[in-house]
Each structure stands twice: as C-alpha cells, then as structure tokens.
Amino acid sequence: MTEQVLDPTKRMLVTIAVMLAVLIQVLDTTIANVALPHMQASLGATQESVNWVLTSYIVASAIAIPISGWLADKIGRKRLLILAVIGFTIASLLCAIATSLTEMVIFRAIQGVTGAFLVPLAQATLFDINPPVRHARAMALFGGGIMIGPIMGPVLGGWLTDSFNWRWVFLVNLPVGAIATVMLWRYMPKGPLTKRKFDIFGFAMLGLALGSLQLMLDRGQQSDWFDSWEIWIELGLCLGAGWIFVTHTLTAREPLFERGMFADRNFALGMFFMVVTGILLLAGLALLPPLLQRLYGYSVLQSGLLTMPRGIGTLITMVLAGRLIGVIDLRILIATGMGLMAWSLHIMSGFAISMGSGPVIVSGVIQGLGLGLMFVTVQSLAFATLVPRLRTHAASLLNLSRNIGGSIGISVVAALLARNLQIAHADMAAAITDQVMPSMSGTVVSQLGLPAEAAIALVEAEINRQAAFIAYLDDFYLMMWVTLASIPLVLLLRPEKKHEAAKLHDAVAID
C-alpha cells in the first residue's frame, strides 16, 4: 500500500476507526487478567488450567503476527483489517457466552489470531494516510492507544467484574468493534494488491519457534522451569526451529520477510529497543499491582488507579515527542527516555514497606515520561528509511518484538521474585535464633496476651512479608540496570538527515 493523500476530515475519520480497532485489542490483552478467579469458579477450572485462558491468546497471537504483512499484500490491507475486527468482535461474544474451559480456550485462541493483525495493520495505515511531516504525530497517537491497554485494562476489568459480571470483560468489545467495522468499511481507502509467494516452510518454523518460546515463558514458573521435561522440550523446539528459520531466511529465494529489512540498521536496532520497551512496560505492570495489593493493602481498583499516572506521563511526552522530532537528534530523545525510565526504577527500588502513595505516583509519572519519549522516537526512526511497501511487515515485527520482550520480562521477573523471596526469607529466618525467639515471644505475650505459638506465627508472617518486599525491590533494581546497559546502544543508531527525508519523500511519491 502506497501513501495516499486524504483530506483532513477523512484522515481524521480513518484515524479514529483504526485507533478503535487498536483499543479493543490492547485492552483485551490485559483486561481479562483480573477476571480469572471469577472465570475459574464459573467454568469449573483449576487454578493452573484457567491460566490457559491467557496462554492460548498469547501463543495464538505470537504465531499469527508474522503473516499479517503477507495477508495484507494478498487480500488487501483494508479487507484484512475489517475481517480482523469482525473476527475479534465475534470471538469476544463467543468468549462471553462460553460455558466450559475448553470453549473459552478455543475462543481466546481465535481472539489472539484475529487480534494479532489489528495493531500492525493500524500502525501501517497511519503511516500511509499521513505525509512524512506528520509521521511523528501519528506515532504519538498510535503509542497513546498502545499504552492505554496495559494501564486501563486492569482498572476497567476490575470495575466490570465487580459491578456486573466477568462476561462483560468481553461484551464491552462488541459496540466498539461494530463502530470500527462500519467506519473502516466506509472511510478507509483501498490499497493495491501484491502477488507474492507464501513461504509456508519459513512460517511453520517461525510459528513453531514462537509458540514454543511463549509456552516455555508462560508455563516455566508453574512447571519449576528446567526441572521439568516440558520446559526442556519447548526450549529445544524454540532453538531448533529458530535456527532453521534464520538459515532459511538467509538462503531462500522468497523468504517470509525480505532480507533487506534487517540490513536497515535503524530498523534492526528498533526491534531491539522495542524488546526493551516491552520488558519495562509489561514486566513493570506485572510487578507493581501485586505489590500494591499484597503488601500495601490496596484494592484491585485502587492499585489500577495508582498505575494510571504512568499513562499520564506517557501521553505528555508522546505529544512532546511528535513536536521535537526533526528539531532534536533522535538519539538524544531515546537516551533521555531511557534515562528517565532508569531514574523511575531507581526510585522504585528504594520504596519503603510503610509509605504513602506519593512515591508510587511520582515514579509512575517519571517512567511514563520515559516510555512515551522512547516509544514514539524509536517507531519513527525504525520506519524512517523503509519503503512504504514494507511497512506492514515492519509493523508486525516491531509489535512482535514488543510482545516477546514483555513475555521474557514477565517470566524473568516472576522467576527472580520467587527465587529472591526464598533467599531473603532464609537470610532473615537465620537471624531468629533460640536466644532471640524467647524474648520476642515473651514481649508479644505480655503485650497482646498471645500464646507462644501465635507469637511465632506472627514472626513468620512478618518475615514472609519483608522477604516478599525485598524480592520486589530486587526486581526493580535489575530492571534499572537492564535499562542503563541498553543506553549505549543508542550510539549505533543513524539519525535521519534532511536530505535523506527528501529522498524518502521522493521514493514514496514514485512508489
């Protein structure tokens, strides 16, 4: 699809339509998490088996994302986007009326497949309907929609579940999907079709690698990682299929992705920075709400509201980034964004176990400022030197990179949380000796009138609480160092020069 000049009104309507499509997908990625306990009771599932509601969606989405570019070339981006919105909306209805866990897992997999196409197609469409001078602003708007999901999803999901029923978590997609479908059919311009042979072997190997990776990351913690044969098998499949895919891509006549994309240094590094963004965004959101709920005593809704300042900071810098791009060296903007994220994680690693909500809000705003600045700039720089016909493929790979980063980040911080909790518990428990315990229990008995057994239980509960808190702080500290270690790679990026932008504009016009 080439860039198409639209009048401002039609461009605004198309933008609204594609952002509605993005909204239902990014919200549904996280909105179902808070409803899992209610689904478990309603569907008669166990605590372990109900997690397949999330796993099926993640795995199906990861496998489907890479073929969005080929399908868009084959049947047209407009047609594919409309079909994806319709499919996602119908799948949402089926999830809402599911009566068994098997049905729910199947319908969530359908949601994952159809939802996988929405974000990359929407992103490529925003590039094509906006002239080059408006690309940064378009990415700021797109990034705002992407960031809404992880921040608003838990809040909206918790409110719908508490006020109505868990099924409304899926029913809320129906009116939004219907409106988006009508607007896309009415206003979105058609693009040219491209005949290109489908690399079925490459797709099979990539799908096997991604599916195995996602299963390993999702089930690793509950399967005790490499003490389980399942995890070893999934790791072997991931590495073997991944190696075959890379070799095939380098040697095949018509690979799934054009090799020239990866020769573009900015795009290749953009994929890496999107992995880092996924780690910081999704891993952070996987840690903070449980910390607020379990150790500070906030409700689901309150913890969701305390994560919202991050979204406010993100929206502020996304608007600013759209205006600063072209004025300030993009590498400076990316490095500044990563520096802000590292600063926020430094604040979080210094949380106190007894404190108010102030540090949570301040660190959230600072982290949001960094995320917004980095997200818009990386997206703009990654697409700057790619020809328009590769944008859908590039968008799918960037979104896949962010999803993989999120999955890796969530799995790593969850594993380290469990490990560091045990270490901290052992260290503190070792200090509770026979000499210390009698005086402690005697003090508690005299003050509260509790028996010695109850005093020991209170001490054990406090050790568990303190150990969990230390484990959370260790995770934040590790994420801070990951961010700092990634900053020097910004120097490898090649900033877009004015004469290159002119060449790109000419290439767009010719294409």
Task: Output the CA torsion 288→289→294→298 (10° steps).
Answer: 120
Interatomic CA distance for residues 382 and 205, integer angstroms: 26
The answer to whether residue 466 scores a pLDDT higher than 70 is yes
pLDDT at position 83 is: 94
* pLDDT tens track for 194-223: 777 788 888 889 889 988 887 888 777 777
One-letter amino acid at 241 equals: A
What number is the average pLDDT over the span 98-116?
A: 89
Token pair listed for 367: 């982290």
pLDDT at position 444 is: 52
pLDDT at position 150 is: 65
Task: List strand residue ranges (DSSP E) for 450-500, in order.
Answer: none
Going by pLDDT thresholds of 50, 70 and 90, the confidence category of residue 363 is very high
What number is the average pLDDT over the span 233-257?
A: 89
The answer to whether residue 332 scores a pLDDT higher than 60 is yes
In sequence order, the 6+-apart residues with CB closer than 8 A to the CB of 155 are 301, 304, 305, 307, 308
* pLDDT tens track for 32-67: 766 776 787 788 777 567 767 777 787 788 888 888
pLDDT at position 505 is: 39
pLDDT at position 502 is: 41
What number is the average pLDDT over the span 390-418?
A: 81
Share of the chain above pLDDT 90, in %: 14
Concatenating the DSSP letter of every residue in 159-192 gives HHHHHT-TTHHHHTHHHHHHHHHHHHHHHPPP--
The answer to whether residue 157 scores a pLDDT higher than 80 is no
Superfamily of domain 278-420+466-511: MFS general substrate transporter like domains (1.20.1250.20)
pTM: 0.75
| Domain ranges (residues) in the chain | 1-197, 200-255, 278-420+466-511, 421-465
Same CATH topology for 1-197 and 278-420+466-511: the answer is: yes
Q: How is domain 1-197 classified at the CATH fold level?
A: Growth Hormone; Chain: A; (1.20.1250)
